Amino acid sequence: MTAARALAASIIDAVSDGQSLTECLETFLPRLKTAKDKAFVQAICYGVCRFYFRLDVLLSYLLEKPMKAKDSDLHALLLVGLYQLMAMRVPDYAAVTETVNATDDLNKAWGRGLVNAVLRRYLRDKEKLETQLDEEVESQYSHPLWWITSMQQAWPDDWEKILIANNSHPPFSLRVNARKKSRDEYLKTLSSLNEVIDIIPELPSGLTISPALPVEELPGFMQGQVSVQDGAAQLAATWLALAPGMRVLDACGAPGGKLAHILEIEPALDKVIVVEKDLKRIESIKENLTRLELNADIHCADAADVNTWWDGKPFDRILLDAPCSASGVVRRHPDIKLLREQRDIAKLAKEQLHLLSSLWPLLSENGILLYVTCSVFPQENEQVLKAFLAAHSDAQEDKIITSIGFSREIGLQILPGELNMDGFYYARLKKIPSLNS
Ligand SMILES: C[S@@+](CC[C@H](N)C(=O)[O-])C[C@H]1O[C@@H](n2cnc3c(N)ncnc32)[C@H](O)[C@@H]1O
């Protein structure tokens, strides 16, 4: 599997350069012939991203001098080699030989000796090196230092739990389409090979199963009976308090998971409008709605630029699932730790406040706006809401009553791993009627 390791190194190199892991896998994996090779490369790439900050420090211990920028592919290959020795069930001799051979595929045969020496030195001094790695938080928890510091400040009692959860494997959670089947009915269609791990009482249609399956193998998937969606994401439609006849806006809609859930649980809505600014992602909304046999008015626009898409009629419910750091879903997207920079958080908070302020006038009196992020940074969550409420006297918090999550000054935070769910923030706002109406 030499070519596979070189390919994994090219993917890691591209991710270190700022590309998303999902996109890189979509581009690179088709170059491999067998499903086994594809699964192997995928497992290496997810693993290297998950433990990048540990592996990178480890590599710095093992190199006499840092690699030159033009050899970033070889640097990535060394991480790929170390990850196999550290965490995979590949026999040590095979991992070393095949990683050394992969230098040829990268046209860096001069690096054979270096790769061989680094990997063998790790094997020789493994115990000592692993102990050394646990002495620094960055390598111990495999996160950037700024991220760890932010978590320590925001979550003094839980930061360690959050970081550990971020490095764990995500559960495989499903949402049964209430228009087609109840959860109990769907459970009967599952093979006895799939163990049902969790059924969260607040989620009438949610369940978590193990092991994960390719979606095509999920019973009823193609017939729209079921979708893949984390439990925390399923709380959005539940907490919108929908009722027949309502006009609903989903302001940042792709790929349409929460939108579909809204349509599944309240079939008698008057109108549902979904806005998404990324044209490519509009396709994912259409695919999901078609598979689930659901309908909504789809607009490709910047939701904040309301004059370009709004018909002037107020909404009873607005879901603002705002673009965010995605720091609550690192289990599913471990490359986020490499891609995100500290300065992104303030930029995102500005964008979130702008979206919230632009959409607020579209909400009817007594209407509800549900603000959601999959972030655990308070700057994107309660701090945005605090700034918004300070500037809008017609807005007040409509507290969500639940035993889930941590109640914050405004809204509530679910931390990654709670009830096996992703990290999400929720705040519900109500529009106070004006005195002269
Ligand atoms: C967190 S995702 C939404 C997930 C979606 N609600 C779901 O449950 O499947 C945020 C989405 O908002 C889109 N987006 C970001 N800024 C936007 C804007 N100003 N107007 C409309 N869509 C935007 C992004 O392209 C992305 O698809």
Note if 374 is an active site residue: yes
Average pLDDT of the segment spanning 404-414 = 97
Min mean pLDDT across 82-91, 184-193, 308-317 is at: 184-193
Pick the residue whose CA is nearest to atom 27 on ligand 1: 254
Pick the residue whose CA is nearest to atom 2 on ligand 1: 323
**CATH class of the domain at 172-228:** alpha beta
111-116 contacts, C-beta under 8 A, 24 or more apart: 111/71, 111/74, 111/77, 114/74, 114/78, 115/74, 115/77, 115/78, 115/81
Q: Is 321 in the pocket of ligand 1 (CB under 6 A)?
A: yes
Rounded to the nearest angstrom, the distance between the alpha carbon of 164 and the centre of ligand 1 is 27
Q: Is 304 in the pocket of ligand 1 (CB under 6 A)?
A: yes
Torsion 55-374-18-106 (CA) sign: positive
Rounded to the nearest angstrom, the distance between the alpha carbon of 324 and the centre of ligand 1 is 9
CATH superfamily of 2-140: NusB-like (1.10.940.10)
Pick the residue whose CA is nearest to atom 6 on ligand 1: 253
Q: Which atom in ligand 1 lies closest to the alpha carbon of residue 250?
A: 6
Topology of the domain comprising 231-431 = Rossmann fold (3.40.50)
Pick the residue whose CA is nearest to atom 16 on ligand 1: 323
Rounded to the nearest angstrom, the distance between the alpha carbon of 282 and the centre of ligand 1 is 10
pTM, two decimal places = 0.96
What is the predicted pLDDT for the residue at 2?
Answer: 54
Q: Is 256 in the pocket of ligand 1 (CB under 6 A)?
A: yes
pLDDT digits (tens, 9 = 90+) for 198-254: 777 789 999 999 989 899 999 999 999 999 999 999 999 999 999 999 999 999 999
- Local confidence band at 196 (pLDDT 50, 70, 90 cut-offs): confident
Rounded to the nearest angstrom, the distance between the alpha carbon of 15 and the centre of ligand 1 is 22
Catalytic site residue from 24, 49, 252, 374: 374
Domain with CATH 3.30.70.1170 in the chain: 172-228
Domain with CATH 3.40.50.150 in the chain: 231-431
What is the predicted pLDDT for the residue at 16?
Answer: 97
